[in-house]
Amino acid sequence: MAHAHSVKRHKGLMDWLTTVDHKKIAILYLLAGGLFFGIGGIEAVLIRLQLIKPMNDFVSAQTFNELITMHGTTMIFLGVMPVIFALMNAVIPLQIGARDVAFPFLNSLGFWTFLFGGLLLNLSWIMGGAPDAGWTSYTPLSTTTYSTTHGVDFYTVGLQIAGLGTLIGGINFLATIITMRAPGMSFMRMPMFTWTSFITSAMILFAFPAITVGLVLLSFDRILGANFFEVSNGGNPILWQHIFWIFGHPEVYILILPAFGVISEVIPTFARKRLFGYSSMVFATILIAFLGFMVWAHHMFTTGLGPVANALFSIATMLIAVPTGIKIFNWLFTMWGGQIRFTSPNLFAIGFIPTFVMGGVTGVMLASAPADFQFHDTYFVVAHFHYVIVGGLVSGLLAGLHYWWPKMFGRMLNETLGKLSFWFFIIGFHLTFFVQHFLGLMGMQRRVFTYLPNQGFDTLNMVSTIGAILMGIGILFFLINAIATAFKPKGVAADPWEDGRTLEWAIPSPPPEYNFKQTPLVRGIDALWKEKMAGNKGMTPAEPLGPIHMPSPTILPFVMSVGIFIAGLGFMFSKEDFSNSFMSLIFNNWIVVIIGLLITFGSMLLRSLYDDHGWHIEVEELEEEGVKA
């Protein structure tokens, strides 16, 4: 072969640091997501322990502020985002019949940038105090006047870096889905998870630049003395709220749409029926995404936007119930008359539906501006968004993880442990958050670190804390399940649920690094199911067996992310008064920033100068593996 290039194959840790394989990057995302989800979960339990009884002094008020801020920030940006990206990486190339994503290098870069951003943010715990201005970091609370530690700087810089990684990932998946689909896989034949991930990626593309600017403004105010939010010099704190929510509201739909996609995969599989109303599902997804950009000011009703704006945003918000309702009914109609199997992924998926509906109903209540003046900043809001994000999104992700675990790892999760984890999770969840609706209606404010006794809050808070612990046990069961499964031998079938409908179930579990030996020909929605119904053994190949070109592993994405990390730290401490003269020399003169940027841009230059020729898997090798399988 003329194109045969020798390529260095790494082993062990170096293999993971240099991999550009989407399936391995999926596992990296899952590990990172698990780490941050664990940190955020511990923070949640600490919050609930503090609130278990009135006038508790388990943690101080300052620590409590740091805990709630880091819990929200970690869970949204660092906990569930990477798990979503883990599923997207593990599944999308397989579902569209591709050998890899459009940009394997960028895929790796996106992950490492995200990881180092998250690590930077969490370093705040050991470097002088975590951010304490809430996950929304509203000005002026988050300006240097009121937030004097470096906490908020860790927030702005850490999220900036992590957000860059997310944006890179989003663009990569858009390009992958647009250009890498197998022959016959038209847009309207794509599996729903691919569709929702596509729309989510588009929302990432349009929403994240807004928060990029917001974080730049806030960090310039805090570090360079700019006046964007400094009222005394002409700034305007409301501007932060607008920019934050122009990003922030789409962000919550960025989170939930992939969960909708997971549910739309799991329910048809275990009902042995095709998804009811496929095209209305697609339409509803697009409509939700569009409306998602049109409703941000419903977070700001009480700032005094005036009746016209409040009415507009109120109505726009209520409109979202329509496409969401379409989805709910479609799932119900899919199950209607199906041969439903209550496997653990399906339990999570079925549990998702009523829970999410409850969160949606309180959403419509909150959308009513006059009522929102009562609900605003109370536990009612806390209950609402936990219903959609935990009861909805996290349930969806757990459904997806149980469902695709055999595909990702080649091992089935234990069903008993899976069901235990479901029941603990769902009962614990409702115990925790259902009562919070009433706490909110009775007037308990969110973000308060304690409360006086005998206001009717005592019992409900106790119940809520007990629920949180049950939910924690549910997650622990999942963790135990994952670890125990890792010690079992590999070797599940290509289609372990036996009713797989989409392309990922047509190839071995876990798939070989080239995914498809021959690109499959897609003949309809639910491509694999269609072949099964036609009595075929597998997919019809769309190309003859030939050598497969693979991208080379590379350490550069890792190095680039380290560079950005160093530059971020340098920027944060550039105006710090150091007692150590060496530290003040390198930090106050921007030397650290310059070193970090040189590392990053230097790696970028190397990547540009030296073309990656990749390597080939030859036909003989493919045939040999075929014999083995």
Partner 1 sequence: MTSADHQATHDVVKHSERHEGPQKHIIVFVLSIVLTAIAFAAVAAGGVNAAFTVLLLLVMAVIQVLVQMGYWMHLKDRGHMMPIIFMLGGFFVAGTAIVTALYWVWW
Partner 2 sequence: MSATHAETVDGKLPHEPEKATLEGRNKVLSFWLFLGGEAVLFGTLFATFLALRNQTNEGPTANELFHFSTTAYATLILLVSSLTSVFAVQAMHRHKVTALRVWLMITVLLGLGFLGLEIYEFTDYVTAEKFGMTTSAFSSAFYTLVGFHGAHVAFGVLWISILIGQLFKKGLTVVTAPKVYVSAMYWHFIDVVWVFIFTVVYLLGKVG
Give the orientation angle of helix 81-95 with respect to helix 192-219, to 10 degrees: 140
CA atoms within 13 A on the CB side of 275: 27
Per-residue b or e along 239-261, where b marks 16 or more CB atoms closer than 10 Å to that residue's CB:
ebbbbbbbbbbbbbbbbbbbbbb
Considering only 207, 288, 316, 349, the residue that binds partner 1 (CB under 8 A) is 207
**Does residue 237 interact with partner 2 by CB under 8 A?**
no
CA distance linking residue 320 with residue 336, whole number of Å: 25
Considering only 547, 607, 617, 625, the residue that binds partner 2 (CB under 8 A) is 547
Instruction: Answer whether 101's CB lies under 8 Å from 172's CB.
Output: yes
Instruction: Answer whether 465's CB lies under 8 Å from 48's CB.
Output: yes
- Are β-strands 615-617 and 548-550 bridged in parallel, bridged antiparallel, or unpaired? antiparallel
- Can you give the C-alpha Rg of the chain in angstroms? 25
Considering only 42, 59, 216, 309, the residue that binds partner 1 (CB under 8 A) is 309
**Does residue 305 interact with partner 1 by CB under 8 A?**
yes
**Does residue 388 interact with partner 1 by CB under 8 A?**
no
Residue carrying structure tokens 């709630």 = 68
**Does residue 174 interact with partner 2 by CB under 8 A?**
yes
Stretch that binds partner 2, among 19-27, 227-235, 383-391, 588-596 (CB under 8 A): 227-235
Instruction: Answer whether 588's CB lies under 8 Å from 578's CB.
Output: yes
CA distance from start to end of the chain: 25
**Does residue 252 interact with partner 1 by CB under 8 A?**
no
Considering only 4, 213, 364, 533, the residue that binds partner 2 (CB under 8 A) is 213
Token pair of 300, please? 């700001």
**Does residue 256 interact with partner 1 by CB under 8 A?**
no
Considering only 294, 340, 469, 559, the residue that binds partner 1 (CB under 8 A) is 294
Considering only 210, 263, 397, 506, the residue that binds partner 1 (CB under 8 A) is 210
**Does residue 6 interact with partner 2 by CB under 8 A?**
no
Least Cβ distance, residue 105 to partner 2 (angstroms)? 11
Residue 416's CB: how many other CB atoms inside 10 A?
11
Q: Which residues contact 20 (CB under 8 A, 6 or more apart)?
A: 100, 104, 105, 107, 108, 551, 552, 553, 554
Query: Binding residues for partner 2, how many (CB under 8 A)?
Result: 49
User: In this structure, what DSSP letter does residue 511 have?
Assistant: P
**Does residue 227 interact with partner 2 by CB under 8 A?**
yes
**Does residue 306 interact with partner 1 by CB under 8 A?**
yes
Least Cβ distance, residue 58 to partner 1 (angstroms)? 40
Least Cβ distance, residue 560 to partner 1 (angstroms)? 25
Stretch 91-120 residues interacting with partner 2 (CB under 8 A): 99, 102-103
Residue 82's CB: how many other CB atoms inside 10 A?
30
Least Cβ distance, residue 72 to partner 2 (angstroms)? 22
Least Cβ distance, residue 173 to partner 2 (angstroms)? 10
CA distance linking residue 27 with residue 189, whole number of Å: 27
**Does residue 226 interact with partner 2 by CB under 8 A?**
yes
Least Cβ distance, residue 288 to partner 2 (angstroms)? 19
Considering only 91, 192, 246, 470, the residue that binds partner 1 (CB under 8 A) is 246
Stretch 111-170 residues interacting with partner 2 (CB under 8 A): 167
Give the orientation angle of helix 556-572 with respect to helix 104-123, to 10 degrees: 30
Least Cβ distance, residue 213 to partner 1 (angstroms)? 9
- Between 272 and 549, whose beta carbon lies closer to partner 2? 549
What are the residues binding partner 1 (CB under 8 A)?
174, 178, 202, 205-207, 210, 236, 238-239, 242-243, 246, 293-294, 297, 304-306, 309
